[in-house]
Amino acid sequence: MVAALLLFLVAAAILGYRIISAVPPMLHTPLMSGMNALSGITILGTLAVFSTATTAPLKALAGTALILAMLNVAGGYWVTDRMLGFFKGKESAPEKEKA
């Protein structure tokens, strides 16, 4: 299991490095907010801890982490989608979003 874990970690890091290096500077802000969303993956851990916590303080702590991680996921993907909606090419008629 530990071997599988390390394998996935290293493989993701290497492939990720190649792919992310090619994201143009123009999109670096959405890239970062998208990474915020992805770092919310820790919600998988919070779900496990929350569902197995036995004492009240543990439950409260795990519940807080669950909310924070979900906030990252939802907020990160949402704002990234909103931002990427601004990026329009010359052909598509530019429409404006009023913030």
Partner 1 sequence: MAVTIIISAVLIAGFLAGLRLMQNPATARNGNRLSALCMALAILFTINELGIWNSVSTWILIVIGSVAGILLGQKVMMIQMPQLVALLNGFGGAASAIVAATSLSLTANPGALVVLTAALALAVGSITFFGSAIAALKLQGTVSQKTVSLKGHRYWLGALLAAGLLLIILSIFYPGPLFYVIAVLFSIYGVLMTLRVGGADMPIIISFLNSLSGIAAAICGLAVYNILLAGAGALVGVAGMILTQLMCKAMNRNLQAVLSGFSGATPVPGTPQPEEPGPQAQSLKEEQIPDLVREAQKVIFVPGYGMAVSQAQQQVKDLIDVLESRGKTVKIAIHPVAGRMPGHMNVLLAEVGVPYEMLYDMDTINPEFAETDLVIVVGACDVINPAANSAEGTPIYGMPILEVEKARHILIFNLDARPGYSCVENSLYSKQNVLTVWGDAKETVARVTASLGEE
Residue ranges in 15-54 that form contacts with partner 1 under rule CB under 8 A: 15-17, 19-53
CA distance 27 to 85: 12
Does residue 3 touch partner 1 according to CB under 8 A? no
Position 81, amino acid? D
Min dist. Cβ of residue 30 to partner 1 (A): 7
And the tokens for 75? 């907020």
And the tokens for 36? 């915020």
Residues 47-86 contacting partner 1, CB under 8 A: 47-53, 58, 61-86
And the tokens for 13? 């890091």
Min dist. Cβ of residue 22 to partner 1 (A): 5
Answer left, alpha or beta for residue 97, where phi above 0 means left and psi between -120 and 50 means alpha: beta
Does residue 5 touch partner 1 according to CB under 8 A? yes
Number of residues that bind partner 1 (CB under 8 A): 85
